[in-house]
Structure 1
């Protein structure tokens, strides 16, 4: 059977959109007519590399939820085809329905789940497809899908915690900039021009603040355009591999930010290797798949070099150590896992340790960043107030 997407009108005039499975398009129209629906548009949900797969998938959060639902249905002893049918029926998201329908059509045509996922282009990451294929080969598809759901949820939770931690400092920074710009463009000119008619020389701080106010009022739009152009130019420049490599290497050397980058990439690497190795994927293939989760180029190249050495028979811990880019605790835990035959368990421990370290560092950094930004804003506002009040003090001295 084939999945068809339709737009139809019910007997009471209500427009309905949905998906239906039928042998042919004519059969689908007949089934919809039997339900009292008049079809205005109908089309087959194409298998293979669909437009959905080319452009976008479900997104990290939705993909983790979808995977959890799928894993739960498989764990309840449903077949893959039955689980996908349930997902199609219960989903309220059109993209999810289309994706599940395309997968189910592939399964009914005789493809395996990993093959069906591969034909959806970029809708499913390569790591996702590798883990599913490993589950099919080992005969533990339901168990592997549960582990995959855990992995996606933990990654989404960590990313959400890090993002939310920076919301408060970002809001404080935005408000601070708006307040300072408002003072420079409206308050300072109105207050200080009163003293210019006194024909006395204004204090240096007042003159400097007047100059800054004039620059913001007259050239503020140009400054904003230059900042936007610089941001866009930097973004485009970072797309060049040579510049990106130098930038990423510099990020690792920055005293505080470098620890964030190192911990985040290490946590993703360790958790990815843990689930791949635990799912029965050979270590070399697991390393090759894990390269895609590392965002920093020097760290990514270190993992690629490690994979080359592992291919030659070098243990994982010894292949990662020479780069000196990864935390020593990761190397020691991997070495312990290789020595005791519990590599998966030690990789899980390393991932948990690095994730906790990242959360602690981000929490400490953001708890200090907020007050520091408020202090900086207070200093700027104090300077503006002094620039306004100093002429008043000098006029009082002249009167005396």
Structure 2
């Protein structure tokens, strides 16, 4: 959906810059009018950036937590937003808070102001804040939302930090092998010309020289083609077509599959439990929690469960029919539904699944590091042997 940058004036005469998403320019103008804003300028943004600007998750979680603390001490919402915008080190967060405060001063609710910025605030943020505003417990909703955000960021940071060394090792190994094939191996080709002409060049050496020639000739064009292809697919939103088969492949992949499944289901449980705890309706909560999994297969299973709940069935049954959820998770969900303690059970399940995923990831990475070293040793050893075999052949030792 196109994004528009605007400069508008509110009822108090203050100038407010900002961005919004709309299908057309007319829809953008209508959206500004619904916020009681008079546009001074409106232009569609045409960005070539591969990644859109977004607020750092840690900064957003801290903002929700600080806002909750200020509201609990009796600071009015408008004043609290102004204080947060003045203290924030994130430029995008600062400008966003100022624009949100201006819209609230014009009569908008906090949830509506955030919902107008879907590129910055997720449906989880909007729904939990809306439930808090309607139920009169906005401070508690903000605190729970901050806790969910902090927990999600903590899990992400753990996975990234645990994967950093194996990824670095794999990258260095790939660069070393590619560098040898492109720059080092071709130096030996003239030395082996006589053996090649006589048909006495060993097959490992022939294979190595062929791989070196292909890589030296096509490496740069392939890198450029791959980069341009990814850019075009991402800019046109075509990468989403590959998300479902990729998610299925990862979930069924030996070793990493249980980790991917546990992380996705833990997200579902934490988000759904937090939303239900805040009083958000079940159907709306399931839609948001399904989106939060980041997994297309699970999202479809949760959507089917939502349809079944509309027909009067429970949650555990349709999820069991999907075959994507472990038996112990389904059992706890069933018990939670029967005892009317589903939000509490979901949050406990999220903690359990996160711990399980972390344990499996640690084991997997411990096995991956020596495996990468072994693969690198085999590849380099093959290259050395392939280069030495013609020497032995020429000296009559082979």
8 Å CA contact retained: 1:291, 1:300 = yes
Identify if the C-alpha distance between structure 1 residues 214 and 395 changes in structure 2 by more than 3 Å, giving closer, same or farther.
same
Q: 1:133 maps to what in 2?
A: 130
After the TM superposition, which of the residue ranges 293-302 and 249-258 deviates more from structure 2?
Answer: 249-258
Q: Report SS of the residue matched to 1:302.
A: helix
1:182-219 deviation line (CA, Å, top 9, x unaligned): 22233223346335457863322223222222222233
Distance 2:389 2:264 in 1: 52
Identify if the C-alpha distance between structure 1 residues 392 and 288 changes in structure 2 by more than 3 Å, giving closer, same or farther.
closer
Q: Give the TM-score normalised by the residue count of structure 1.
A: 0.80
1:3-50 deviation line (CA, Å, top 9, x unaligned): xxx9xxxxxxxxxxxxxx99445xxxxxxxxxxxxxxxxx43467499
Asked if 1:114 is matched to 2:111, the reply is yes
C-alpha displacement of 1:57: 4.1
Asked if 1:382 is matched to 2:362, the reply is no
C-alpha displacement of 1:234: 7.9
8 Å CA contact retained: 1:273, 1:290 = yes
Q: Report SS of the residue matched to 2:108.
A: coil
Q: Give the TM-score normalised by the residue count of structure 2.
A: 0.80
1:169-194 deviation line (CA, Å, top 9, x unaligned): 22222211221122223322334633
Asked if 1:319 is matched to 2:326, the reply is no
- Gapped runs of 5+ residues in structure 1? 1-5, 7-20, 26-42
Distance 1:216 1:295 in 2: 36
Q: 1:145 maps to what in 2?
A: 142
Which ranges of 4 or more aligned residues in structure 1 deviate by more than 6 Å?
A: 49-52, 232-236
Matching of residues 243-254 of structure 1 within 5 Å: 244-254=243-253
Matching of residues 183-262 of structure 1 within 5 Å: 183-191=180-188, 193-196=190-193, 201-225=200-224, 227-228=226-227, 238-240=239-241, 244-262=243-261
Identify if the C-alpha distance between structure 1 residues 232 and 123 changes in structure 2 by more than 3 Å, giving closer, same or farther.
closer
Asked if 1:309 is matched to 2:281, the reply is no
8 Å CA contact retained: 2:250, 2:257 = yes
C-alpha displacement of 1:371: 1.8
Distance 2:338 2:183 in 1: 69
Distance 1:320 1:369 in 2: 33
- Gapped runs of 5+ residues in structure 2? 1-6, 19-31, 46-51
RMSD over aligned CA atoms reads 3.1
8 Å CA contact retained: 1:271, 1:347 = yes
Q: 2:159 maps to what in 1?
A: 162
1:260-294 deviation line (CA, Å, top 9, x unaligned): 33212201110011111111222233213222213
Matching of residues 1-400 of structure 1 within 5 Å: 23-24=12-13, 43-45=15-17, 48=35, 56-191=53-188, 193-196=190-193, 201-225=200-224, 227-228=226-227, 238-240=239-241, 244-397=243-396
Q: Report SS of the residue matched to 2:240.
A: coil
C-alpha displacement of 1:381: 0.8
8 Å CA contact retained: 1:45, 1:101 = no
C-alpha displacement of 1:229: 6.6
Distance 1:192 1:286 in 2: 64
C-alpha displacement of 1:65: 2.1
Distance 2:254 2:385 in 1: 35
After the TM superposition, which of the residue ranges 341-350 and 280-289 deviates more from structure 2?
Answer: 280-289
What is the total number of aligned residue pairs between the two structures?
A: 361
Distance 2:13 2:244 in 1: 53
